[in-house]
Amino acid sequence: MSINVLMPALSPTMEEGKLAKWLKKAGDRVKSGDVLAEIETDKATMEVEAVDEGVIAQILVPEGTENVKVNTPIAVIAAEGEDASAAPVQKQAGAAPAAAKSTAAPAAPVAAAPPDAEIPAGTKMMTMTVREALRDAMAEEMRRDGDVFVMGEEVAEYQGAYKVTQGLLQEFGAKRVIDTPITEHGFAGIAVGAGMAGLKPIVEFMTFNFAMQAIDQIVNSAAKTLYMSGGQMGCPIVFRGPNGAAARVGAQHSQDFTSWYSNIPGLKVVAPYSAADAKGLLKSAIRDPNPIIFLENEIMYGQSFEVPEIEDYLVPIGKAKTVRPGKDVSIITWSIGVRYAMNAAVELEKEGIDVEIIDLRTIRPMDLEAILTSVKKTGRCVTIEEGYPQSGVGAEIAAQVMTGAFDYLDAPVVRVTGKDVPMPYAANLEKLALPSIPEVVAAVKSVLYR
């Protein structure tokens, strides 16, 4: 009985990877624990070990192959006594994990956005991932200003838990790229103190779920001191890291904290969607003299977008962007919410519904002018966020729209949010707990009374 070796999923969000290197070849005898191959994910290069014993009958995916989907058979092992050369490629068995994987939202199209008014016509563009854009933003600002440094868990020697700080240690050294112990409360406080003393720290939280340990220093020390000191003692600091749900990591690692931070005067809260905005906004955040909460999304890290090849590409904080102009309904969202909106827009277009999508990009200060201008035009508004409904950002937008555009509204504002439950682990339940494209489609139709 021959056994298929499948392309493994090596992280919660991995959907495909590169088969970097085979360490065994056809005809080699392997036993459980032997390293078969090296797989390069977007985060790391990992070794794949054999689980079964036998002889490698066939290598199905040659080394150097990119974008090998998880669960694709990559080799065949013939069991003891079997004719290795004759072992057939088996029909893929044990497909449950593959099915679970496929429940992840479809990959975003590579920045199929309309011409961007912020980018001069004729600008040369390059394709890069959100991850690379964030890294480049930090590297550029660190080159520009010696007071900028980055600290956090695994940011230096490990090259970043999500590889966002890849290469920074090599370029800037251990003085400016600092691995911390696992002590969020303590190192957030140290960074705030360093910020008060005039340095410009970038604090990476491995996820914002862990920043709950540090939220006292963020809110009570970083956000409030300028006010409490009568304007004397500011704190130029960026707290950044992935926020919200990744995939199948359970309740304690999946919370969206956007509304928590958006509630606090003295903070600015930024949550980009595209790689270009991630880069331009992070550079602006590092230069900003105020404490900034910079919310990233793990699922977006590996997504590619067109980024302008402009030296010092800055995107202003506090400015929303119309990512899809339309006339029927305004969808107000940000971060990964833009992806739900873009995909829903494609569905809705088929039914003759033309939505306008506003990417807030900054949650605090909120670009109310952009929201109200759009809603006054369409008369209808849907918000999308992965966070909880009660006291969520959508609730704030609804209140602002009611106050600022009441006479223009043709329907109540409808919110699409994460469900009011701790994030479940089971794939089907997790899918239900998050917003979905059908929910967005239904919400848009509901405000159109269709």
Partner 1 sequence: MPATRAAPAVKAARKPAAEATPNLPVTPPAVFSREEELESYRMMLLIRRFEEKSGQMYGMGLIGGFCHLYIGQEAIVTGVQMASKDGDAVITGYRDHGHMLALGMDAKGVLAELTGRRGGLSKGKGGSMHMFSREQHFYGGNGIVGAQVSLGTGLAFANRYRGNDNVSLTYFGDGAANQGQVYESFNMAELWKLPVVYIIENNRYAMGTAVTRASAQTDFSRRGISFNIPGEQVDGMDVRAVKAAADKAIAWCRAGNGPYILEMQTYRYRGHSMSDPAKYRTREEVQKVRDESDPIEMVRSRILDKKFATEDDLKKIDGDVRNIVNEAAEFATNDPEPDASELYTDILI
State which of residues 173, 198, 316, 325 lies at the interface with partner 1 (CB under 8 A): 198
Within 10 angstroms of residue 374's Cβ, the number of other Cβ atoms is 23
Look up residue 264 and give its amino acid.
Answer: I
Q: Looking at 253, 356, 385, 439, which residue is catalytic?
A: 253
Q: Of 444, 256, 268, nearest to 350 (Cα)? A: 444
The token pair that represents 112 in the structure block: 């199929």
Q: Which is nearer to partner 1, 281 or 329 (CB)?
A: 281
CA–CA separation, 302 vs 294, rounded Å?
17
Residue 253 a catalytic site member: yes
297-303-304-310 Cα dihedral, nearest 10 degrees = 10
Residue 239 CA, chain-centre distance (Å), reads: 15
Q: For residues 5 and 324, give the distance between their C-alpha atoms in angstroms, rounded to a whole number.
A: 44
Minimum gap (Å) between residue 232 Cβ and partner 1: 5
CA 293 from chain center: how many Å?
Answer: 14
Q: Is 187 helix (H, G, I), strand (E, B) or coil?
A: helix
CB of 364 to partner 1, least distance (A): 10
Cβ distance to partner 1 smaller for residue 81 or 265: 265
In terms of CB distance, is 86 or 233 closer to partner 1? Answer: 233
Measure the CA–CA gap between 115 and 397, rounded to whole angstroms.
27
Query: CB-wise, 151 or 355, nearer to partner 1?
Result: 151
CB–CB of 130/296 below 8 Å? yes
What is the SS3 assignment for 177? strand
Residue 145: CB minimum distance to partner 1, A: 13
Q: Which is nearer to partner 1, 196 or 363 (CB)?
A: 196
Confirm or reject binding of residue 124 to partner 1 (CB under 8 A): no
Q: Is residue 188 at the binding interface for partner 1, with CB under 8 A as the rule? A: yes
Whose Cβ is closer to partner 1: residue 186's or residue 308's? 186
63 is annotated as an active-site residue:
no
Q: Kindly name the residue from 15, 140, 141, 184 that is annotated as catalytic.
A: 184
Tell me the per-residue interface mask from 215 to 234 with partner 1, x by CB under 8 A, - otherwise. -xx--xx---xxxxxxxxxx
Q: At what angle do helices 437-447 and 337-350 cross, to 10 degrees?
A: 60
Tokens of 16: 């495909």
CB of 285 to partner 1, least distance (A): 13
Which residues are CB-neighbours of 380 under 8 A, at least 6 positions away? 328, 329, 330, 409, 410, 411, 447, 448
Which residue, 244 or 266, has its beta carbon nearer to partner 1? Answer: 266
Q: What is the DSSP letter of 311?
A: T
- Residue ranges in 145-164 that form contacts with partner 1 under rule CB under 8 A: 149
Distance of closest approach, residue 267 Cβ to partner 1, in angstroms = 9
Q: Which of 162, 187, 208, 294 binds partner 1 (CB under 8 A)?
A: 187
Residues binding partner 1: what is the number (CB under 8 A)? 39
User: Does 412 engage in binding with partner 1 (CB under 8 A)?
Assistant: no
**Applying CB under 8 A, which part among 136-144, 190-198, 407-415, 428-436 lies near partner 1?**
190-198
Query: Per-residue x/- mask for partner 1, residues 263 to 302, rule CB under 8 A?
Result: --xx-x--------------------xx------------
Task: Say if CB 388 and CB 356 are below 8 A apart.
Answer: no
**Is the distance from CB of 278 to CB of 294 less than 8 angstroms?**
no
- Cite the active site residues: 184, 253
Binding interface with partner 1 (CB under 8 A): 149, 175, 180-181, 183, 185-199, 216-217, 220-221, 225-234, 265-266, 268, 289-290
